[in-house]
Amino acid sequence: MPQESPTSPIARRRINLLIAVAGLGFGGAEVLIQHLVRTIDRQRFKVTICCIKTAGPIGEALEREGHDVVVLSQPSQGRVDYFTFAKMRKLIRERNIDVVHSHTTDSLADAAVCRLLSPRLRLLHTFHFGNYPNLESRQLLIERVFVRFASRLVAVGQVQRTQVMATFKLAESAVAHVWNGVPLLPPSTDESFRAGLGLSDEILIGTVATLIRQKGLEDLLAVAARVRATGRRARFVIVGDGHLRSDLERKRVDLGLQDTVQFAGWVKDASRTAVPQFDIFFQPSLWEAMSIAVLEAMAAGIPVVATRVGENPHIIADLADGMLVEPRDVPGMADVLVRLIDDPDMRRRIGTAGRAKIERKFTVERMTRAYEQLYAELV
């Protein structure tokens, strides 16, 4: 990498970085941004977080921590603000931004327009969607146009990188790869989440997810019915919310699972307060890019059962530091869960090995240093 002269302007000051996103609600990409902002080297980078539509709970939390959070627009009554690019450009000029790091389709579009108007600006875009090219057609069209104006593109997984290159007809050199990372938290002794579910000695099988089709939660309910039919003392909990919640709750009633499956809604700091109290983490997703929830569960030392989608096979060594199942294979998923329910030694061994893998390969510090290097190369 070319080195800056000690007397160059960039060498004498911090790099001004704008992290751009639609909003910071609950989700893997939003959690990744939170980790990135909290761990970036403040002596090298001055960070502004730009939320196009709304700060959301994660944005509000970052603002309370003293981070610079700017919301460009809060549309009312469904009206769309078509001038957020102009507001972003004004913010870029006010903060003397060197690099914009976009994370969503709309933030990519606005940042690309800003780069066209200010050629010295550099634009890095990270893809988070894990099922290219099966993106909503309007979003796919926007990305197809504006990825050409990015200075650098980043995929969070090897599978996703291959999908992105094929979808947008990009050369390998155009798309970098940075694995997601999570913090390593000390073991938790707080059992309030478990107590709030009214559990005694039952095995708790949990997931953390937005309640959308991607997450395969109808399959989770079908699996729960099969596990209950075996007579095992196990309970399931779904942490999260989303537009499918009412449909899933109706299916729970249809299957007679009211005493077996609980919906906890969004839980504050779920990776700290809820996940460490699971006995097994279960993710039946239909597709993923690189799941933050899987990484957080492994970091907590919880044995993970996840579908063989996206980056999961690259994260998990089956039967060594996690267990892989095929998507939609309800009988196979139930069999693996029953095996873990019956074998506490296997649960401990897999959980310990999973945490060790996070320590070696998937820490938030490792991820942040990789992004810092990309920012520095761009300027």
Domain region containing 371: 9-181+363-378
CA torsion, ordered 314, 319, 320, 323, to nearest 10 deg: 50
Vertex 109, ends 105 and 113: CA angle to 5°?
165
Backbone phi, psi, residue 101, to 5°: -115, 105
SS3 42: coil
The pLDDT of residue 191 is above 90: no
324-332: average pLDDT: 98
Quote the CA–CA distance of 184 and 301 in Å, as a whole number.
10
Read off the pLDDT band of 82 (50, 70, 90): confident
pLDDT at 11: 53
Read off the pLDDT band of 32 (50, 70, 90): very high
Give the CA count within 13 Å in the CB-facing half-sphere of 51: 23
- The count of domains in the chain is 2
Is residue 65 domain-shared with residue 174, that is, in the same domain?
Answer: yes
pLDDT at 77: 52
Is residue 332 domain-shared with residue 372, that is, in the same domain?
Answer: no
Respond yes or no on whether the N-terminal peptide bond of residue 331 is cis (omega within 30° of 0): no
Name the token pair of 86: 């102009």
The pLDDT of residue 340 is above 70: yes
pLDDT digits (tens, 9 = 90+) for 210-235: 999 999 999 999 999 999 999 999 99
CB proximity list for 168: less than 8 A, separation 6 or greater: 143, 144, 147
315-328: average pLDDT: 97
pLDDT digits (tens, 9 = 90+) for 144-181: 999 999 999 999 999 999 999 999 999 999 999 999 99
pLDDT at 27: 86
Is residue 70 domain-shared with residue 102, that is, in the same domain?
Answer: yes
Sign of CA dihedral 321, 323, 326, 327: negative
Largest CA distance in the chain: 72
Which alpha helices (H) appear in 152-269, and where do they start and end?
158-168, 192-196, 217-229, 245-254
| CATH code of the domain containing 351 | 3.40.50.2000
- 244, part of any domain: yes
pLDDT at 75: 62
Read off the pLDDT band of 78 (50, 70, 90): low
62-76: average pLDDT: 89
Read off the pLDDT band of 5 (50, 70, 90): very low
70-88: average pLDDT: 81
- 126, part of any domain: yes
- 1, part of any domain: no
- 307, part of any domain: yes
8 A C-beta contact, residue 322 and residue 354? yes
26-55: average pLDDT: 95
The pLDDT of residue 265 is above 50: yes
The per-residue pLDDT of the chain, averaged, comes to 94
- 186, part of any domain: no
Backbone phi, psi, residue 140, to 5°: -65, -40
The pLDDT of residue 207 is above 80: yes
Q: To the nearest whole percent, how much of the chain has pLDDT over 90?
A: 89
Provide the pairing of β-strand 68-71 with 15-23.
unpaired
Is residue 152 domain-shared with residue 249, that is, in the same domain?
Answer: no
Which H/E stretch holds residue 354? helix 344-361
Give 191-202 as a 3 state SS string.
CHHHHHCCCCCC
Residues in the chain: 379
Is residue 241 domain-shared with residue 371, that is, in the same domain?
Answer: no
Is residue 373 domain-shared with residue 355, that is, in the same domain?
Answer: no
pLDDT at 268: 87
3-state helix, strand, coil in the chain (%, to 5): 45, 20, 35
The pLDDT of residue 285 is above 80: yes
Name the token pair of 315: 């994260």
Is residue 29 domain-shared with residue 128, that is, in the same domain?
Answer: yes
Is residue 325 domain-shared with residue 232, that is, in the same domain?
Answer: yes
The pLDDT of residue 329 is above 60: yes
8 A C-beta contact, residue 305 and residue 322? yes
Read off the pLDDT band of 81 (50, 70, 90): confident
pLDDT at 17: 98
Distance of CA 296 to the CA centre of its chain: 10
Quote the CA–CA distance of 354 and 291 in Å, as a whole number.
14
pLDDT at 1: 41
Read off the pLDDT band of 63 (50, 70, 90): very high
Is residue 324 domain-shared with residue 221, that is, in the same domain?
Answer: yes
Is residue 354 domain-shared with residue 368, that is, in the same domain?
Answer: no
